Amino acid sequence: MPRRSPRDRVDGSASIAGCGRGRRSGCGRSSRRTGRRSGGSTRCPRRAYVRAGRFSYGIGIGREHQRRGYAAEVVVLPLTYMFGERRLHKCAVSVHAFNSASVALHEKLGFRHEGLLRDHEFFAGRHHDVVLMGLTAPEFATTHPFPPVR
């Protein structure tokens, strides 16, 4: 029996086709300004829950490339794809509360605070809070109109 593509699934959750396989793989991004890799990747989106119409993603930007606007570029592409092409309704992300740059990035992109998980993660010898943020397709479309269909 031939393997089905993750895109062929119509129920439950699905991985996103063409964005790497495995936890650390990602969609590397080259800067439009320099043409060089920014050291960033998204986990393009990590999971899509098709029945529920939602997805999530993860992002990492190399230390030497942080605070240059690359993260916003890297995030907008999968959001446009998932909302515009896959027609999903909501993106949910979780951000460590101490990561003020990531919280600010998501606020700038239109994400809203939906909750706080207190002392949710334990690493580096202590517990850390996690901020839950969400963005719906109509909210995203107000600031990032979808390209016209040709």
pTM: 0.71
pLDDT of residue 38: 46
For the chain, what is the mean pLDDT?
77
Structure tokens at 109: 């992109």
DSSP state of 50: T
The pLDDT tens digits for 37-68 are 444 444 456 678 899 999 999 888 888 888 88
CATH placement of domain 6-143: 3.40.630.30
For the chain, the structural domain boundaries read 6-143
